[in-house]
Amino acid sequence: MSDSEAPPAVAPEGVSGAPGLSQEALEIASGYAFAGPALDLGALLWDGRCLPDARIRIPLPVLNRHGLVAGATGTGKTKTLQLIAEQLSVQGVPVFLADIKGDVSGISAPGVSNDKVLARAREVHQEWTPTACPAEFYALGGMGRGIPVRATVTSFGPVLLSKVLQLNQTQEQSLGLIFHYADQKGLELFDLKDLRAVVTFLTSDEGKAELKGIGGLSPATAGVILRSLTAFEAQGMSPFFGEPEFDTSELLRTASDGRGTVSVLELPEVQDKPQLFSTFLMWMLADLFHDLPEVGDLDKPKLVFFFDEAHLLFTGASKAFLESITQTVRLIRSKGVGVFFVTQTPKDVPSDVLAQLGNRVQHALRAFTPDDQKALKATVKTFPNSTYDLGEVLTGMGTGEAVVTVLSEKGAPTPVAATRLRAPQSLMGPVDPAALDRAVQASPLYGRYAQAVDRESAYEKLAARDAAAAQAAAQTAAEAGRAPAKGGGRAKKEPSVVEQVVGSGIFKSLARSMGTQIGREITRSLFGTARRRR
């Protein structure tokens, strides 16, 4: 060999059968040659060829460093989620998936072999075997197929509720004062009628004195909140709030064989309520954050939570809401939970959140319009320096291909790698509705959450107060009518009916029951969600 000839590239340890790779391809492949457990995403694409022995992987321990799966509609994001979820389940890691279009339920059934699947498997040297994952299916408020998921209004908190009611910042702060009042007075807000009863009381003649005691809450703002709440109920939102409240620790379950359970939240029935379901997902994440202990960095996550249609969460969000999301994502990592946001472009995610997403799977983007081209340039800038022309690569990739960069086992970003992804081994499509119904009803969780209950709470307490006040007023009026008239001298001024009612024993008893109760006030944290589980 002459001095001018370069020595052949040698594959690094962990990159098998790849001595023919170019130096650039070897450098990329070596960045993914992890020693510990990892998820296999696919094979490296370089210079127009798929290099099946250059495996692109994500180390299992770094999945709690969060991630982003992005790409235009139809580029394969859902199949990527399915691929990652399957491998996490095999590794004993529970997974949460939101199924907006109704095509993720197939993860519970073995895949179907066909020429396309087998060709993909051969391209990436994948040993493809039809495999089903243990799965549970949920539905918000029981709307659709799945175990009903509900939250109490108290637990949901004022910040999240303001998001779904589309309140402005001033109204959001005022709603927080109303929650604080209810917490102090022992008025449990289990469902929407409880909150409506409290706001109605505060805006009534009888409640004006209480309203004055809540700093900064004007009657006009309280009235706006009441109207928004009434309109919200009229849109059929009541079933989502109430008891039994879903215990988010159910998402951490594993199957009897040690595989992680895949929890699928079925959302086709509420596709037209994006503000609601996206905010409910955030409630679930916030609730997990409150309840889980600090564990630091683990060998594998306790849960990986995929937040689909993430742009809906941030659209129209208040400053307080965005700050709470940022803080939750930053801190929940130390509790063993990884969060993957799924959306079309990275610009859908605020920069403070995007900066915390260490693992990136970017599917193809379109560049048909000036806005598309702007989004493409912004996306390229979010990646580390690369030997690829990412603008060209991202617009030229086919379905099931993506640009990947993840965190290594040492926490450093890996080289950017164009990747042909593996094929999911579960069914790539929905399961039969009858089979899904049978799976839901056979679940041990179904009996726990299927039937809604309505315990005594703020609505019943305030209704009893009104009834007692009316009874006391009638009794006082009757006694006044029977009293004999006294002649001579100046008549002693009789107390008004209101004064008589307020002074009655029944009213005082009710007032005491609604007064501040030691140990009853609820501690609230991020988003104003309740930290004390009832």
Summarised one tens digit per residue, pLDDT across range 196-207 is 999 999 988 888
The pLDDT tens digits of the residues spanning 126-185 come to 999 999 999 999 999 999 899 999 999 999 999 999 999 999 989 999 999 999 999 989
Strand duo 95-99 + 303-307: pairing: parallel
Across the chain, mean pLDDT equals 86
Q: What's residue 3's pLDDT?
A: 45
Secondary element (H or E) of residue 473: helix 458-482
H helix or E strand, kind and range, residue 40:
strand 38-46
Of the pLDDT bands very low, low, confident and very high (cuts 50, 70, 90), residue 510 is very low
- Going through 272-362 in order, the beta strands assigned E by DSSP cover 303-307, 337-343, 359-362
- For the chain, the maximum distance between any two Cα atoms, rounded to a whole number of angstroms, is 134
Cβ partners under 8 Å of residue 434, min gap 6: none
Beta strands 147-149 and 337-343, pairing class: unpaired
Per-residue pLDDT tens for 214-246? 877 888 999 999 999 999 999 888 999 999 999
Mean pLDDT along residues 53-57: 95
Give which of 44, 68, 56, 64 is closest to 359, Cα–Cα: 68
Q: Check residues 190 and 522 and name the one with the higher pLDDT.
A: 190
Please say if the pLDDT value at position 352 is more than 80.
yes
DSSP 141: T
CB atoms within 10 A of CB 374: 13
Read off the pLDDT band of 209 (50, 70, 90).
confident
Q: H or E segment at 99?
A: strand 95-99
What are the CA-CA distances from residue 530 to residues 236, 264, 521 (Å)? 24, 25, 10
Report the distance separating Cα 166 and Cα 156, nearest Å.
15
Q: Kindly state the average pLDDT of the residues 398-420.
A: 95
Q: Which of 364-368, 475-479, 490-494, 511-515 has the lowest mean pLDDT?
A: 511-515
Q: Smallest Cα–Cα separation from 510: which of 195, 211, 214, 187?
A: 187
87 exposure class (CB count in 10 Å sphere: 0-12, 13-18, 19+): buried
Q: How far is CA 274 from the centre of its chain?
A: 12
The SS3 assignment for 253 reads coil
Q: What percent of the chain has pLDDT over 70?
A: 87
Q: pLDDT tens across 96-139, in order?
A: 999 888 889 999 999 999 999 999 999 999 999 999 999 999 99
- Name the amino acid, one letter, at 58: I
The pLDDT assigned to 208 comes to 82
| Cis ω for the linkage preceding 413 (within 30 of 0) | no
Judged against a pLDDT cut of 80, whether residue 476 lies above it is answered with: no
**Would you say residue 500 has pLDDT above 50?**
no
The whole-angstrom separation of Cα 85 and Cα 12 is 29
Closest CA to 146 of 76, 99, 110: 99
Sheet containing 303-307: give its strands across.
49-59, 38-46, 417-421, 401-405, 359-362, 67-70, 337-343, 303-307, 95-99, 262-266, 135-140, 147-149
Instruction: Report CA-CA distances (Å) from 337 to 170, 251, 274.
Output: 33, 11, 24
pLDDT of residue 385: 86
pLDDT at residue 467, rounded to an integer? 80
